[in-house]
Amino acid sequence: MEQKFVGKKKKICLLSGIALICVLFFIYLAFSLFFIKHYYFGTMLGTIDCGGKTIQEAQELIAEKADEYVLTVQGREGMEAAISASEISMQFFTDDHLEQIMKKQNSFAWLSFLWKNEKHEIPVTVRYDDALLQKRISEMLMFQPSAMRRPTDAYIGEYDSEGGSYPIVAEDEGTYADKAKAKEAIIKAIENMEDFVSLDEADCFLKPRIDSQNEELVSFCDRINRYVKSRIVYDWNGVEEIIDGSLIHEWLEIDRKNYRVTLNEEAVREHIDTLSRKNDTFGRIRKFHTSENEDIYLEPGTYGWRVDRAAETQELMKLIRSGRQTGREPQYLYTAFVKGQDDIGDSYVEIDLTDQHLWLYVDGRLVTDSDFVSGNVARGYDTPTGVYGLTYKTLNATLKGQGYATPVDFWMPFNGNVGMHDAKWRREFGGTIYERNGSHGCINLPHEAAEEIYGYVSKGFPVICYRHEKKPDKDKNTFDGEEEETTESEDNAFGVEENGTLENESE
């Protein structure tokens, strides 16, 4: 019984299988017959899906699309226009490609094309009224003069104070299209039955000659910015003066057309002159509080800070051209002992030519004071007033002149051949000796005073010489207007000090 059931089941399965195969065969055969006159599913003729369509149905779809055809033309900055087939009397004609594609199609191979698309380009002959097309193009907003902006080149902008540099201003692409190129791109799109064309992508717009990536422009910009990136921090007589792009850009002469940049020497010199007038002290009249508790104004003399303006101008220009960032002291023609507007400071020799008395201060402390004898007024050898810096100092010098050779132990010149020194040949100092029996300009000091002063002073040490209104003397001068008798050697020494040359025998 069980064996009969199994045999019957096998027979049913076999018959079912045969029936299924027959059904599938008839389906396959039916589709094979169908694809004799129909395109495979997924067949694209141009941009039209003609899968399962006959040649006639495909022709109707193409004709329908032709009637509804609209081409969107895209310009720049959101400008668009549309051209419809009816506006230009457009007609589409196909050749025998539809038939050729069908003939090449193997209807019995349809099964292998179920999972892939067949794409075919269909040559379409397009006919249109050229005058109407030209008119439609001319009517588009993007071709109106008011909407056509010519491109401009990238260029070097003005100095940006926040960024501290010159920027490259990007080119303006503009909206100026070449109408002939645009028409060519539009016709090509129509002939290919495309529904969109970008005039930008079709390269129909005029281009700037120079863009922001132009190597020559970028190099020129870098060259300019090298100048303004310079930063020179001066220590100008104790005052910080900064030279950076905020000033430098005003000194540049930029030829943007020929890519040339020049540093205006006259402008740089003018600024150096301004800083020099502001911070230099050389040649200025100074207010001074004397040891006798008087406020007086000192003659300039040859003391103070004075920059070599011409040399510093050239050096500053060199630093700017190289783009340097550095600290610097300017080149001085004259220097003082201390920096600042009060360049005398609190260490100096104070020489009162009126009262014939001298004081030496070091760091604000009075070290010594002494009477002296200055230049002979009667013979026109007045000691010059003013502020000076000690030229140098030396020991055991010989002051030489015509027929004279007078040795001194301590020689401290401060104004040419005028200086301080010991005068062992003098018996007295101070009073009115200088009026008729003074030196030829030097400050004659007692040996002890000269020695002590020599021990404290150094090159550049301030020496202040001044006169003031004479106060009545409490003690009558011992000379009473009479000249003190001197020896011949003393008189010779006076003549040699200022008019002769100096020869050092030892240091």
Q: How far apart are the C-alpha atoms of 196 and 193, rounded to whole Å? A: 9
Domain count, the chain: 4
| Residue 54: predicted pLDDT | 84
Q: Does 459 lie in the same domain as 314? A: no
Residue 111 has pLDDT above 90, yes or no: no
Nearest to 279 by CA among 235, 247, 244, 236: 236
Which among 174, 198, 213 is the end of a domain?
213
Mean pLDDT on 57-63: 73
Q: Does 401 lie in the same domain as 477? A: yes
The per-residue pLDDT for range 205-232, each reduced to its tens digit, is 999 999 999 999 999 999 999 999 999 9
The answer to whether residue 42 sits within a structural domain is yes
| Residue 193: predicted pLDDT | 79
Query: Using H for helix, E for strand and C for coil, what is the string for 385-413?
Result: CEEEECCCCEEEEEEEECCEEEEEEEEEE
The answer to whether residue 157 sits within a structural domain is yes
Q: Does 59 lie in the same domain as 167? A: yes
Provide the residue count of the chain. 507
Mean pLDDT on 471-483: 42
Nearest to 415 by CA among 285, 311, 299: 299
| Residue 507: predicted pLDDT | 27
Assign 374 a pLDDT band (cuts: 50, 70, 90).
very high
CATH number for 395 = 2.40.440.10
Q: Which residues sit opposite 370 in a β-bridge? A: 358
Least confident of 34-38, 124-128, 228-232, 384-388: 34-38
Tell me which of 132 and 65 has the higher pLDDT.
Answer: 132
Q: Does 257 lie in the same domain as 179? A: no
Cβ atoms within 10 A of the Cβ of 225, count?
A: 21
Residue 246 neighbours by CB under 8 Å, 6+ apart: 161, 164
Assign 268 a pLDDT band (cuts: 50, 70, 90).
very high
Assign 112 a pLDDT band (cuts: 50, 70, 90).
low
Mean pLDDT on 76-100: 83
Q: How far apart are the C-alpha atoms of 22 and 29, rounded to whole Å? A: 10
Question: For residues 505 and 397, is the Cβ–Cβ distance under 8 A?
Answer: yes
- pTM above threshold 0.85: no
The per-residue pLDDT for range 342-358, each reduced to its tens digit, is 999 999 999 999 999 99
Residue 454 has pLDDT above 60, yes or no: yes
Q: Does 96 lie in the same domain as 39? A: yes
Nearest to 235 by CA among 346, 335, 165: 335
Q: Does 374 lie in the same domain as 245? A: no
Residue 496 has pLDDT above 50, yes or no: no
Assign 299 a pLDDT band (cuts: 50, 70, 90).
very high
Residue 130 neighbours by CB under 8 Å, 6+ apart: none
Q: Which domain holds residue 313?
A: 216-284+302-333
Q: Does 172 lie in the same domain as 132? A: yes
Q: What is the mean pLDDT of the chain?
A: 85
The answer to whether residue 295 sits within a structural domain is no
Mean pLDDT on 152-156: 96
> Please, what is the end-to-end C-alpha distance for the chain in angstroms?
149
Q: Does 447 lie in the same domain as 436? A: yes
Residue 406 neighbours by CB under 8 Å, 6+ apart: 398, 399, 400, 489, 492, 493, 496, 497
Q: How far apart are the C-alpha atoms of 51 and 41, rounded to whole Å? A: 4
Q: Does 60 lie in the same domain as 126? A: yes
| Residue 153: predicted pLDDT | 95
Residue 473 has pLDDT above 60, yes or no: no
Mean pLDDT on 141-164: 94
Q: How far apart are the C-alpha atoms of 241 and 305, rounded to whole Å? A: 15
Residue 45 has pLDDT above 90, yes or no: no
The answer to whether residue 292 sits within a structural domain is no
CA 385 to chain centre: 49
Question: For residues 360 and 450, is the Cβ–Cβ distance under 8 A?
Answer: no
Q: How far apart are the C-alpha atoms of 351 and 332, rounded to whole Å? A: 27
Nearest to 342 by CA among 459, 239, 466: 239
Assign 19 a pLDDT band (cuts: 50, 70, 90).
confident
| Residue 472: predicted pLDDT | 56
The per-residue pLDDT for range 67-83, each reduced to its tens digit, is 788 999 999 999 999 99
Residue 261 identity: V
Residue 59 neighbours by CB under 8 Å, 6+ apart: 94, 98
**Three-state secondary-structure class, residue 308:** coil
